[in-house]
A and B are shown apart, each in its own frame.
Chain A
Amino acid sequence: MSDDEKKKSGFFQAVKEFVYGVAAHDSARFALKTRASMEHLFILITMGDMLGVPILPPYYSLRLLPYVVPQISTWKRRMLREKDLTDSLA
């Protein structure tokens, strides 16, 4: 790649990122945030008995357990923490 081409592609990359930042970043962030809330809802449904809310039969929730191991502690913190007004601003 010549210097000229490098410059060109660097320029396009910058434009691309700029457009993404202006137009799509917020939507993408929103999609990911919604996805994260759903993840917590999902763990509540399947692993609810960890908090004393049994929903899915335990035989099958055990099957899913390995996949959610990393999320368990943040999920518990989120479910059990007290909520205040500033939460709705986030």
Chain B
Amino acid sequence: MVPISLTKIFEKYPDRRYIMFGGKGGLGKTTFSAATAYYLAKQGKRVLVFSVDPQASLSDIFQKDIFGKGPTEIMPNLYAQEIDADQRVKEYQQEIRQKILDMYGMDKIPEEIESYIQAAAAEPAMEESAIFDEVVDIVVKGGFDYYIYDLVPLGHALYYLSMASVYDEWIGKITGLRQQMREYDQVAAVMRHEKDAEEDAILNELLYIKERINKSSGILTDKERTAFFFVVTAEEMVINDTLKAAGLFAKFDVPLSGYIVNRVLPEELKKQQIPEYLKNRLTMQDHYLKVIDDTFKNEILAYVPEMERDVTGLRMIEKLAERMFD
């Protein structure tokens, strides 16, 4: 089956400026993110590709250490960023400490409070939340035509999504309680003929958090501005997992834009003298490519061949981009 080309998709939907690749670990999400960024940058668009994975590998693929350095120029129009979650959490803790010191004119954080700050930072969800928060910063700041999310493997991405909706719900509830508290404040103030109750700083803080979370999950589920691609390979487990994940993503209203088949062994090999081992791989691949065809039908956007070497450095990224966007 001839796929609808990926190029056409980008031409047809120029408003989809948030590009994401999802899939099981090790299938080529980072590679495709980099290649897409390269392609778009060559078209004259300003592109930022950034990693939300604590074990990011953009540094490896661009052969440049960009970890925790903010948006770094790779070539004209192409910027890459790897978020240093650890550093972010540390700065955040310090910010909170400073705020407490300033608010109460203390010169030292009370022990109880300090131990809470440290314990909170050790929570496993902290790192994800910090990355989540930084992503909001990146997106809110603007300045690029395209944002390419180099996503975490499926399980994490789902966690990331569900986190947004759970947070949203929670914050909504707490904000409700806080608003109710404020009403009591006002009642008491009126009865005692005081002027208006003081402004509630906590309520404002909660509304701020709510707005940030909405911003981030809003992008993930925006059909007009977001394109989410799944990466698959011709293997049974990968196909099954992808189907399962696609179902879950649909539940969270993530707009799926199509599937890209990676690591396809070249057909021409069959005509050559090849060992039994490779012959078997090719037969297996034919079978699963057919399964993929039957399963995802006209949502397949590209078949990308297994390259002759691993994709690192701009030369190889360019080569791959040519195969993706032919």
CB distance from A33 to the nearest CB of B (A): 9
- The interface size bin for chain B is 35 or more
A68 and B121 alpha carbons, distance in the complex (Å): 18
Interface string of A23-67 (1 = CB under 8 A from B): 010011001101100110110011101100011111111111111
CA–CA, A24 and B190, complex, Å = 10
User: B100 touching A66 by the CB < 8 A rule?
Assistant: yes
Residue in B112, B178, B184, B206 whose beta carbon sits within 8 Å of that of A34 in the complex: B184
Mark each residue of chain B from 105 to 128: 1 if its CB lies under 8 Å from any CB of chain A, else 0.
000001011001101110101100
B133 lies within 8 A of chain A by Cβ: yes
Residue A74 interfacial (CB < 8 Å)? no
Q: Which residue of B lies closest to A38 (CB)?
A: B181
- Interface centre among B121, B129, B170, B184, by most A CB within 10 Å? B184
Task: Give the distance in Å from the alpha carbon of A38 to the alpha carbon of B179 in the complex.
Answer: 11
The interface size bin for chain A is 35 or more
Do A35 and B192 touch across chains, with their CB atoms under 8 A apart? Answer: no
Instruction: Identify whether the interface residues of B are mostly helix, strand, loop, or mixed.
Output: helix
Most buried by B among A16, A39, A55, A60: A60
- Taking the closest CB of chain B, its distance from the CB of A60, in whole angstroms, is 5
A31 contacts B100, CB within 8 Å? no
User: A60-B171, A60-B209, A62-B120 are contacts. A38–B126 as well, Cβ < 8 Å?
Assistant: no
Q: Are A59 and B125 in contact (CB under 8 A)?
A: yes
Question: Contact at A65–B181, with CB atoms within 8 Å?
Answer: no
User: Given A24-B191, A28-B191, do A59 and B129 touch, yes or no (CB 8 Å)?
Assistant: yes
Distance between A27 CB and nearest chain B CB, rounded to angstroms = 6
Contacting B181 at CB < 8 Å: which of A35, A56, A68, A69?
A35
Closest-by-CB residue of A relative to B128 is A59
In contact, A49 and B184 (Cβ under 8 angstroms): no
Knowing A31-B184, A31-B188, A65-B116 are in contact, say whether A56-B110 is a contact too (CB < 8 A): no
Indicate which residue in A45, A61, A69 contacts B177 across the interface (CB closer than 8 Å): A45
Chain A residues with CB below 8 A from B224, complex form: none
Min CB gap A15→B, angstroms: 13
Chain A residues with Cβ below 8 Å from B125 are 57-59
Q: Which residues of B contact A65 (CB under 8 A)?
A: 96, 100, 113, 116-117
In the complex with contacts A60-B167, A65-B96, A50-B116 CB distance below 8 A: yes
Interface check B277, CB cutoff 8 A = no
Bound-complex Cα distance A41 to B173 (A): 13
User: When the two chains form the complex, which single residue of B93, B112, B123, B187 contacts A72, counting CB atoms closer than 8 Å?
Assistant: B112
In the complex the two chains form, is A35's CB within 8 Å of B185's CB? yes
Contact B126 A58 (CB under 8 A): yes
B1 CB-CB contact with A under 8 Å: no
B7 within 8 A of A: no
A42 to B202, CA, bound (A): 10
Assess whether B178 is in contact with A42, with CB atoms less than 8 Å apart.
yes
Are B92 and A56 interface neighbours, CB within 8 A? no
Which of the residues B113, B171, B180 comes within 8 Å of A69, measured between beta carbons?
A: B113
Q: Which 7 A-B pairs have the closest CB atoms?
A: A59-B129, A58-B120, A35-B184, A28-B191, A31-B188, A24-B191, A66-B99
10 A–B pairs (Cβ distance < 8 Å), ordered by A: A20-B191, A35-B184, A42-B177, A45-B177, A55-B170, A57-B129, A57-B167, A60-B171, A62-B121, A67-B201
